[in-house]
Amino acid sequence: MDMAIAQIKDFTHHIDQWIEMAITKRSQNPDIGSSHFVIQREIYSDGNLYYQFPSLFSNQEIGSSIKCLSLKGCSFRSLDSKGYCSLIDLRLKKVFIVKDTIKIKINAENLTTFLYAGKPVEFMPINVPKLSNVIIRPMLEYSSHALLYALGKLSSDIPQMESLMLSVAPIEEKKLPKQLALFANLKKLVLLVRTCGETLRGFIPLLRSSPYLQRLELHLSVRKSERIKEGLMERPSDFPHFHLEEIILSGFSGCSHDIEFAAYLLSNVENLKRLTIYSRRLYYEMIPATLTRESQERVEALAAEVTCKDKKTEKGAWEQLENLVRPGVELLLA
C-alpha cells in the first residue's frame, strides 16, 4: 500500500482508518500485498504539522503483518514495542523526530535492511539480530557525522552487519577516534563521499576497522570551492588487507589526492582481483539503494569493453598506478 499524504495532522484519524482497513483486508485475503507500507509527506515546516506515525502498528496483531515499512516526512518516535516481528525492511527518510525522543529504539527481530536519511540522530537497536544491510545517508551539512558514527558506536550497535552504505564527508584528523572499533562481519562498504578537494586519507581508518571487507566502493563528488583544501593528515602507514578483492572508485579526476588513495589501496590490498576507476561519479538511488539507470549503463558499457588500458583519466595518472599493480590484478579505467 502506497500513501502520499498531503494533509496535516488534523486528518490523522481518517488516514489511520485507511491503514487499518488495508491491514484488515490483508488478514481476510492473504493474496493482497498490503504488508508493504509507504507513508509520505512533502511538507517540511513546523514539526507539529507532521502526520504522526500511527500507533496502531505497535499492536501485536496488526504490526506483525508488516514486512516493509517506509516513512517519509512523518513525525516519528521509535519502534520499541514487540509488535514488529515480521518487519524485514525499515526505511526512514526525512522523518521528524519527536522533540522528547533522545534515542530511536528499534525492536524488530527479523529486520535485515535499515535505511535512514535525514538529520543526525542516535539509534538504539534493542533486538535486531538479523540486521545485516545498513544505509545511512544524512543531509549534506551533516555528512561528517556519519563517518564519526561509523568509526565510533556503529560496529557495537550492529556487530553482525555485513553491508554498509554511508554518505560521508572528510573530517579533521584531530576528530578521528584514537581507539577504532572493529567491524568483524562487514564484507561490503559503499562510501558516497562529498568533498571540497580534501585528502581522502581520513577514510583509511574505516578500512582498517573492516579486516574482512571483500568489496569497497568510493564514489566521489567534489563541490566547487574557491580554494582547494590541502591534506594536512599524516601519510598513512601500510596496513595489509587480505580479504578485499574488488574496488570501485568513481569521480576519479586524477588529482594528487585521488592517485594517493588509489595507490594506497594497490599497495596494501594483498589479494585484489579488480580495481575499476571511473572519471565520472556513479550515483545511487535513495530507495531502493541501487545504481541510477545512467550509472548502471556506464558500468555495463565498461564491462562490455575488451580492455581499457588505452584510457587515461589525466596525463600521467595511469603510469603512476600501473607500477603498483600486482600480477593478476585487473585495472580498468573509464
What is 182-208 written as a DSSP string? --SS--EEEEEEEESS--SGGGHHHHH
- Determine phi and psi for 250, rounding to 5 degrees: -130, 160
pLDDT surpasses 70 at 260:
yes
DSSP state of 231: P
Dihedral of CA atoms 54, 58, 64, 67 in degrees, nearest 10, equals 50
pLDDT surpasses 60 at 9:
no
pLDDT surpasses 80 at 218:
yes
Instruction: Indicate the range of 165-169, 258-262, 290-294, 317-321 predicted with least confidence.
Output: 317-321
- Determine phi and psi for 301, rounding to 5 degrees: -65, -40
Question: Cα 219 to chain center, whole Å?
Answer: 12
Identify the top-confidence range among 13-17, 105-109, 311-315.
105-109
The residues near 102 (Cβ < 8 Å, ≥ 6 apart) are 122
The residues that bridge with 247 in the sheet, in sequence order, are 216, 275
Measured over the CA atoms of residue 61, residue 64, residue 66 and residue 69, the dihedral's sign is positive
pLDDT surpasses 60 at 1:
no
What residues does each domain of the chain span?
A: 1-110, 132-334
**Is 70 within 8 Å of 38 (Cβ atoms)?**
yes
pLDDT attached to residue 29: 33
**Is 325 within 8 Å of 277 (Cβ atoms)?**
no
What are the helix (H) ranges across 108-228?
Answer: 143-151, 154-157, 204-208
pLDDT attached to residue 113: 95
**Is 125 within 8 Å of 158 (Cβ atoms)?**
yes
The residues that bridge with 134 in the sheet, in sequence order, are 114, 164
Instruction: Indicate the range of 19-28, 96-105, 210-219 predicted with least confidence.
Output: 19-28
pLDDT attached to residue 288: 78
Q: Helix, strand, coil proportions of the chain in percent (round to 5)? A: 25, 25, 50
Confidence of residue 43 (pLDDT cuts 50, 70, 90): very low
pLDDT attached to residue 57: 57
**Is 76 within 8 Å of 97 (Cβ atoms)?**
yes
Decide which of 89 and 65 is more confident.
89
Nearest to residue 321, comparing CAs of 232, 246, 258, 259?
Answer: 259
Mean pLDDT of all residues belonging to the chain:
78
Q: Considering the entire predicted model, what is its pTM?
A: 0.84
